[in-house]
Amino acid sequence: MSETAKIEIDGKSYEFPVITGSENEKAIDIKTLRATSGCITIDPGFKNTGSTTSAITFLDGEKGILRYRGYPIEQLAEKASFLEVAYLLIYGELPNKSELDSFQESITKHTLVHEDMKQFFEAYPAKAHPMGVLASMICSLSTFYPESQDPNRPKAAIDLTMHRLIAKLPTLAAMSYKNAMRHPFVYPKNDLGYCENFLNMMFAMPTEDYTPDPVVSEALNTLLILHADHEQNCSASTVRIVGSSQANLYASISAGVSALWGPLHGGANQAVIEMLDKIQNDGGDLDKWIAKAKDKDDPFRLMGFGHRVYKNFDPRAKIIKKACDDVLNKLGVNDPTLDIAKKLEKVALEDEYFVKRGLYPNVDFYSGIIYRALNIPTEMFTVMFALGRLPGWIAQWKEMVENKEPIGRPRQIYTGANERDYVSIDKR
Ligand code: SDX
């Protein structure tokens, strides 16, 4: 007997099926709610509303669990390569050696962007934020590959677009940095791995060779894996809803980059470092800033703290916090910001305001400290988040397309003026 839920409205009772997922999560299926009762539900921010069923990522906010296709994030971060995880998220299974080799080969041969795109970069001001550059460059890619705009293109063409995106994003990201520095672009090299290639494009100069430190590329590999997917977060939902109109994948990913830019979402990693620097420059009075974060009349929030789903610890924050000590020690970097971050976490987690609301460090709280140790500039932090999140966005878009989900179009409850007649301007 399948489970149901009953809703009573205006004295009438309506029954709806309850669906149960593979991890025993339950949802009331209200697909027939409006047709039967004339009512809709309303849930600003979708805090209690599921938009889809998905087999990609499972997270449990109370237990601090995060798994990609069933594999715990702790194991993937320690043992896998980023391209292995990208393949897992997109195709559903860990690749065997020949699958990984051909995936890697396909990515490698598509790392170049069309030479005409260099002119786009030259038109940007030096202070252009790289997230603004990246969002427009990704959407511009669709104009160089017009066949990608056909919603009915064959599977092989979709695979090619997915591989082109994974291959070209690091190139475009590094170009946005070189352009901001007014340094010459560095081309990708086919003999370098994914992380090493990105670091080389970022830091090599025509005057001197650059050899990526293995500690740096290993740390980058871990960070990209930790950011690779996070089920129906703001930017993934954006990618899905843009893709649901049959807009092409480049346009959908570009929209995801724009959503990620916000300081409440991926932009928090840049905001955290700016906050920690501000606290340090202000004399490091943690109690003062904790009080500001709790004050409803003060717009200041503790950036990097709190999460829509994790009401206990964010497993990614735990891994990154541990990696902070490890990477900074190996690189011989002494960053006082790390001490401030650890003290701030301790003070906040001894404060009832944060504990009562389940506000703990999230993925963005410590990640900026590692990025800074890797010499990644602050304005590039959210670009790094986008590089990691790309395979997750692609996987979410692919699942939405394969499941033939309808165009996303939420309803509303109207609260404006009732019908009234037009009044000529001389009578207003
Ligand atoms: C990411 O969804 C994902 O999975 C996102 C992400 C991913 O991988 O895709 O995990 C990545 O975006 C991480 C979050 C990064 N953002 C920040 O660090 C910005 C600071 N955090 C907050 O703005 C906030 O915690 C959110 C946006 C993350 C979550 O907001 P919610 O779920 O809408 O919660 P809320 O704003 O309703 O807050 C509940 C209460 C409120 O107080 P009361 O009304 O109950 O009195 O907690 C308070 C809030 O004022 N609160 C904070 C706070 N976060 C929440 N108070 C001070 N500092 C904070 N950081």
CATH number, domain containing residue 35: 2.20.28
Give this prediction's pTM.
0.97
Q: 222: CA distance to ligand 1 center in Å?
A: 24
Atom of ligand 1 nearest to the CA of 296: 50
Place of tokens 């520095």: 181
Atom of ligand 1 nearest to the CA of 45: 33
298 and 236 within one domain: no
pLDDT higher than 80, residue 72: yes
What pLDDT score does 374 carry? 93
Ligand 1 near 364 CB (within 6 A)? yes
363 and 388 within one domain: no
Identify whether the C-beta of residue 314 lies closer than 8 Å to the C-beta of residue 308: no
Q: Choose among 133, 213, 212: nearest CA to 175.
A: 133
25-48 confidence digits (pLDDT tens): 999 999 999 999 999 999 999 999
154's CB contacts (< 8 A; 6+ apart) are none
The torsion angles phi and psi of 17, rounded to 5 degrees, stand at -70, 150
Q: Which amino acid type is present at position 412?
A: Q
Domain that holds residue 32: 4-50
Mean pLDDT of 279-306: 96
Tokens linked to 218: 């290993």
Query: Would residue 409 count as lying in a domain?
Result: no
Ligand 1 near 306 CB (within 6 A)? yes
CA distances from 424 to 135, 220, 330, 348, 428 (A): 44, 64, 75, 59, 7
Q: Which of 238, 264, 270 to mutate to test the pocket of ligand 1 (most atoms within 8 A of CB)?
A: 264
Q: 301: CA distance to ligand 1 center in Å?
A: 9
Query: Would residue 315 count as lying in a domain?
Result: yes
Query: Would residue 118 count as lying in a domain?
Result: yes
State which H helix or E strand residue 65 sits in. Answer: strand 65-68
Kindly state the DSSP code that residue 359 receives in the 8-state scheme.
-
Please state the domain count of the chain. 3
Query: Would residue 422 count as lying in a domain?
Result: no
249 and 121 within one domain: yes
229 and 115 within one domain: yes
Q: What percentage of the chain exceeds 90 in pLDDT?
A: 97
What pLDDT score does 209 carry? 82
Give the CA angle between residues 76, 81, 267 to the nearest 5°.
80
Place of tokens 């996987």: 395
Q: Provide the Cα torsion 88, 93, 97, 100; round to 10°.
A: -30
Atom of ligand 1 nearest to the CA of 305: 60
310-331 confidence digits (pLDDT tens): 998 999 999 999 999 999 999 9
Query: Would residue 68 count as lying in a domain?
Result: no
268's CB contacts (< 8 A; 6+ apart) are 303, 304, 362, 364
What pLDDT score does 2 carry? 86
pLDDT higher than 90, residue 378: yes
Mean pLDDT of 83-93: 98
Q: 312: CA distance to ligand 1 center in Å?
A: 13
242 and 148 within one domain: yes
Ligand 1 near 273 CB (within 6 A)? no
pLDDT category at 1 given cuts 50, 70, 90 is: low
Distance (Å, rounded) from C-alpha 369 to C-alpha 205? 25
Tokens linked to 181: 């520095």
259 and 311 within one domain: no
Query: In CATH, what number is assigned to the domain containing residue 195?
Result: 1.10.580.10
330 and 247 within one domain: no
Q: 307: CA distance to ligand 1 center in Å?
A: 5
Tokens linked to 373: 């140790």
207-216 confidence digits (pLDDT tens): 988 999 999 9
Mean pLDDT of 116-125: 94
Query: Would residue 345 count as lying in a domain?
Result: yes
Identify whether the C-beta of residue 32 lies closer than 8 Å to the C-beta of residue 7: no
Closest C-alpha to ligand 1, atom 14: 265
Query: Would residue 12 count as lying in a domain?
Result: yes
User: Order of strands, edge to edge, in the sheet holding 71-72?
Assistant: 57-60, 65-68, 71-72
The torsion angles phi and psi of 258, rounded to 5 degrees, stand at -65, -40
Handedness of CA 128, 131, 136, 140 (dihedral sign): positive
Where does residue 7 rank: exposed (0-12), middle (13-18), buried (19+ CB within 10 A)?
middle
Closest C-alpha to ligand 1, atom 20: 303
Coil/strand/helix, residue 58: strand
Query: In CATH, what number is assigned to the domain containing residue 352?
Result: 1.10.230.10
369 and 393 within one domain: no
Q: Which amino acid type is present at position 324?
A: C
**Which residues does the annotation mark as catalytic?**
307, 364
Q: Which of 362, 384, 393 to mutate to test the pocket of ligand 1 (most atoms within 8 A of CB)?
A: 362
Atom of ligand 1 nearest to the CA of 304: 18
CA distances from 135 to 130, 274, 306, 352, 395 (A): 8, 23, 26, 40, 19
Q: 262: CA distance to ligand 1 center in Å?
A: 12
